[in-house]
Amino acid sequence: MTASAEKVIYHLLSNASGVTNLVSTRIYPAVLSQGAAFPAVSYFRVSGNRHWLMGSDAGIVHQRMQVSSWSQGVENYLQADQVAQEVRKALQRQRGTINGVEVIDILQDGDGAIIFEDEIEVYQAISDYQVIYRE
């Protein structure tokens, strides 16, 4: 599968003032780089599938994307949640041509837990999204 869902996610997050007011340009594919500043957002493809019809492909792709909202410091639990809420506002129910990709819909598909990593004192708020688009 191409990186179309990734292009859509990055474009929407980097152009959402609610997100960038909190994380600036700290929006990363896959994982945070060592020494990254916080708060930040990362995203990656979890899985995907294509729809097919009798004898042909429908050209519709469903990709599950995981988006993590990060904050650092024991006292910053609410900051991770705030970033996650702004991410949801930026992504949920977006449709149309986005960064050259024909998006049918984006749906939040799980509002996960907020995990605390003791060793590095970092919160990670995890949410999954279905990005449905036409190839």
Averaged over 67-77, what is the pLDDT?
94
CATH of the domain at 14: 3.30.2000.30
Higher pLDDT, 53 or 116: 116
Average pLDDT for 90-105: 97
Q: Tell me how many domains the chain contains.
A: 1
| pLDDT tier for residue 13 given thresholds of 50, 70 and 90 | very high
**Whether residue 1 has pLDDT greater than 60:** no
What residues contact 127, with CB distance under 8 A and at least 6 apart? 66, 67, 68, 69, 84, 87, 88, 108, 110, 111, 112
Give the model's confidence band at 59: pLDDT under 50 very low, under 70 low, under 90 confident, else very high.
confident
pLDDT above 80 for 53: no
When the pLDDT of each residue in the chain is averaged and rounded to a whole number, the result is 93
Distance from C-alpha of 86 to C-alpha of 88, rounded to nearest angstrom? 5
Range of the domain at 12: 4-30+37-134
